Amino acid sequence: MNHKVVAVILFALSLLAILFGYFLLSPWLIGLCPIDSYCLDDSLNFGIGYPLYLSIRILPLIFFTLIFVRKEVFSTWWKIITPLSILLLFIIISTPYEYHGWIQLWPDRTAMTHLMVYVFVIVSIIVILWKYWRLSRIPKTKPAQRG
């Protein structure tokens, strides 16, 4: 599959995830609850809705940028980000969605998602810039002259 198609799919999925999070925070907009009341479980609100809507807003910018990068840059980014994403997703899922207590030693799921998204974005920017820098250092070969 073309790397531009994959980047467009990632861009669209990130926008859909933000929209899904928004509808979990406001279920009355799509008729799941009576107007201005919240009838869904708090784990959907704090565990999925807030992290999706509030924390991943910057991901569409990264994925939109990936539509315009060279194939070599995208493939390097993909090879590094795939295992990192699995690790970050595991960290997010293993974090409780909210804490009940007077001392909070570990962030809740929304804060952890926000932090992991920033790690994802920073690593993505570093990988993209590093790969472009490496490609710019490769000398361009001149075609052989016949003579």
Query: Would 93 be classed as within a structural domain?
Result: yes
More confident residue, 142 or 8: 8
In the chain, the number of structural domains is: 1
Residues 39-89 pLDDT 10s: 777 677 766 777 788 888 899 999 999 999 999 999 999 999 999 999 999
DSSP string, 53-68: III-TTHHHHHHHHTT
- State pTM to two decimals: 0.79
Residue for token pair 């974090």: 95
pLDDT of 122 > 80? The answer is yes
Q: Residue 9 sits in which domain range? A: 3-137
DSSP string, 21-43: HHHHH-GGGGTSSSTT---S-HH
Query: Would 19 be classed as within a structural domain?
Result: yes
Q: Is the dihedral of CA 24, 29, 30, 33 positive or negative?
A: positive
More confident residue, 35 or 122: 122
In 3D space, the residue among 44, 127, 24, 135 whose CA is nearest the CA of residue 85 turns out to be 127
pLDDT of 7 > 60? The answer is yes
Query: Would 144 be classed as within a structural domain?
Result: no
Q: What is the pLDDT of residue 49?
A: 77
